[in-house]
């Protein structure tokens, strides 16, 4: 009932996608299967996704799913091809008919019994790594000893190993060498010899399990009407750099330039693809391109065989990367004095970039004192110059279409800044950007985060995995200050009758429940047709998931509580969680005043769901 009403409301409001963002580790578990880290493939994870479908979401956005290191749990620094074995759901290995007890109930009980007391709330990565590895090694031993018993599974494993041989071989070899030398830092390895057949086979087995579980989940989600979105991270892991180091520039790294929301910039330390490896002449249409483009294609082909759409992490890194020198001993100084890889024809502090420039001095800001990180550093571009900037995005869009996808299923994480070359490439393909509402200045009509500034192709959202939950933000907005300014802004957006807006704004400013519902309704009144909600904003959480640019022990650890359904209903009734039916009802009233007869019935049904109506 709820999902049907929501679907009708979304159609009436011309909203094409309503996507819920959840990273693997944050999924809830259930008693008897959960080690203290979530997995979308677990019984608890799958139940949560059914819950999301029941609320009316049309898609789910995962974070990057690669292997991470023991000292860095950020999924955005994980591997590009191999998935994290930590996402293998142990419960199904012990209980699903498909696996026929590949993991014994006793082994699962041992793994679960030692989990930390706070495991339902925060991930203890150190414990989970050790316990998960023990359980998976027990499964691998059972598989090896009973291949006749699992003959069909063994055939699937052989087929998987053959299909993914190229990256599986390097992933397994890396794991074996890291274990042999006691460090993941391949620059410290004395040699890379040895066969390590068993270690590689175990690594392949773990990848087989997690990829097989992923394929099964995607099929299940399709049956629920949920599209699955992957996260194309801009970063390259230390493991992948080991394998692909010849593809990258030796003296530069990629980072975030100074910006409105991050004035200091961020030295990410990510490798930068050498443009010489794109293709002779650097156009995507040339037969497969060079080794760099083949690498990009391989990533995209794998992801689009597993997902229905993609979130593009920091797309400037694919179009006009901000790069900085590695010979500067101070990374912060280096990134603040970096440059655009393709827009630096004559910079005295970056002479080595001149050979990559796609623009001339006449195309740049005329004043040499103009900050080179500003969006308008490049003042003009010819069609041919846009072609050269668009090489990787052309490959991206072509690959999405080749897999039966739509351009609208590409979500580009463009935040407060959008350099002119990136804007030109997005326009070339009709792609939108992000509008993160909590970052907007309600008094500034030109603020890029305002939903009123959005286009139909844009994605609007309350926040992201890198922002504070909206309910925490609301607590920080004091009455008479930002809350009042936002109430006036929301009245302009949601009250069609001008004369009624002051009274409407006053009601919002004085009623936290009405204010929260109106803030959420702003996402749906257009013109953007894509709405994304991060799980903390849906469920009314106030704890921070990640603090960008800060090393913090709580980063990447927050989980959805096991009693999420009860908690959500209670918080929604109290106006302390995302009231989707209430927000849609308010948006429909704003868009059709007075409401048509069909809308009136729909609004009444949504208001009953939200607890507003009779």
Instruction: For the chain, give the percent of residues with pLDDT over 90.
Output: 84
The yes-or-no verdict on residue 505 having pLDDT over 80 is: yes
Q: What is the pLDDT of residue 285?
A: 47
Residue 261 pLDDT > 80, yes or no? no
Query: Do 588 and 13 touch, CB atoms closer than 8 A?
Result: yes
Return the pLDDT at 599: 86
Contacts of 327 (CB under 8 A, 6+ apart): 251
For the chain, the residue count is: 614
CATH class (in words) of the domain with range 2-232 = alpha beta
pLDDT for residue 356 is more than 70: yes
Dihedral sign of CA atoms 553, 556, 558, 559 in order: negative
The pTM for the full model equals: 0.95
What confidence tens digit (pLDDT) does each residue in 167-183 have? 999 999 999 999 889 99
pLDDT attached to residue 390: 96
Give the chain's mean pLDDT: 93
Q: What is the pLDDT of residue 610?
A: 87
Confidence class for position 147, pLDDT limits 50, 70, 90? confident
Please name the helix (run of DSSP H) or strand (run of DSSP E) that holds residue 166, with its range, or none: helix 165-181
What is the pLDDT at residue 195? 73
Looking at the predicted structure, is the pLDDT value of residue 1 above 60? yes
Alpha helices in 403-530, H assignment, sequence order? 420-429, 470-476, 482-494, 501-510, 512-521
Stretch 106-127: mean pLDDT: 93
pLDDT value of residue 522:
97
Angle separating helix axes 420-429 and 391-402, nearest 10 degrees: 30
């Amino acid at each position: 009932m709820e999902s049907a009403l929501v679907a009708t409301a979304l159609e009436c409001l011309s909203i094409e996608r309503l996507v819920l963002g959840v990273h693997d580790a944050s999924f809830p578990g259930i008693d008897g299967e959960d080690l203290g880290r979530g997995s979308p493939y677990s019984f608890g994870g799958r139940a949560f996704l059914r819950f999301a479908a029941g609320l009316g979401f049309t898609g789910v956005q995962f974070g990057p799913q690669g292997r991470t290191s023991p000292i860095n749990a950020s999924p955005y620094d994980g591997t590009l091809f191999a998935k994290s074995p930590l996402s293998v759901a142990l419960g199904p290995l012990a209980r699903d008919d498909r696996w026929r007890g590949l993991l014994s109930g006793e082994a699962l009980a041992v793994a679960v019994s030692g989990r930390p007391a706070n495991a339902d709330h925060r991930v203890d990565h150190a414990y989970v790594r050790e316990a998960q590895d023990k359980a998976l090694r027990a499964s691998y031993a059972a598989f090896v000893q009973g291949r006749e018993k699992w003959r069909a599974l063994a055939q699937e494993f052989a087929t998987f190993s053959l299909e993914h041989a190229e990256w599986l071989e390097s992933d397994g070899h890396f794991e074996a060498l890291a274990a042999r030398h006691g460090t993941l830092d391949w620059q410290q390895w004395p040699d890379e010899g040895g066969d390590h057949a068993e270690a590689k086979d175990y690594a392949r087995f773990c990848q087989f399990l997690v990829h097989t579980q992923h394929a099964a989940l995607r099929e299940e989600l399709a049956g629920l009407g949920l599209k699955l979105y992957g996260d194309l991270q801009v970063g390259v892991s230390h493991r992948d750099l080991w394998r692909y180091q010849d593809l990258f520039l030796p003296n530069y790294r990629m980072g975030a330039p100074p910006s409105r929301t991050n004035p200091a910039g961020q030295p990410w330390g990510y490798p930068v693809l050498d443009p010489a490896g794109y293709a002779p002449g650097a156009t995507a249409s040339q037969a497969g391109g060079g080794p760099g483009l083949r690498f990009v294609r391989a990533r995209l082909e794998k992801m689009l065989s597993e997902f229905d759409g993609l979130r593009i992490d920091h797309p400037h890194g694919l179009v006009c990367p901000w790069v900085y020198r590695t010979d500067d001993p101070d990374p912060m100084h280096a990134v603040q004095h970096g440059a655009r890889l393709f827009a630096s024809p004559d910079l005295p502090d970056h002479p080595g970039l001149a050979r990559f420039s796609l623009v001339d001095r006449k195309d740049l800001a005329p004043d040499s004192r103009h900050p080179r990180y500003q969006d308008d550093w490049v003042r003009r571009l010819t069609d041919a110059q846009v072609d050269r900037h668009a090489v990787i995005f052309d490959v991206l869009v072509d690959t999405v279409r080749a897999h039966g996808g739509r351009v609208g299923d590409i979500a580009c994480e463009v935040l407060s800044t959008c350099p002119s070359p990136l804007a030109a490439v997005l326009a070339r393909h009709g792609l939108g950007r992000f509008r993160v509402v909590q970052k907007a200045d309600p008094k500034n009509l030109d603020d890029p985060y305002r939903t009123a500034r959005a286009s139909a192709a844009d994605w609007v959202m309350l926040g992201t995995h890198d922002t504070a939950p909206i309910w925490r933000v609301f607590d920080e907005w004091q009455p008479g200050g930002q809350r009042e300014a936002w109430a006036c802004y929301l009245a302009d957006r949601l009250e069609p009758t001008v004369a009624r807006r002051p009274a409407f704004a006053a009601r919002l400013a004085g009623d936290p429940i009405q204010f929260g519902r109106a803030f959420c309704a702003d996402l749906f009144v257009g013109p953007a047709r894509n709405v994304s909600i991060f799980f903390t904003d849906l469920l009314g959480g106030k704890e921070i998931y990640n603090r960008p640019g800060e090393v913090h022990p709580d980063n990447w650890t927050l989980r959805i509580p096991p009693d999420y359904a009860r908690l959500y209903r209670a918080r929604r009734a109290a106006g302390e969680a995302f009231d989707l039916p209430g927000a849609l009802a308010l948006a429909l009233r704003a868009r059709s005043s007075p409401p048509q007869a069909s809308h009136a019935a729909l609004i009444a049904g949504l208001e009953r769901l939200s607890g507003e109506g009779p």
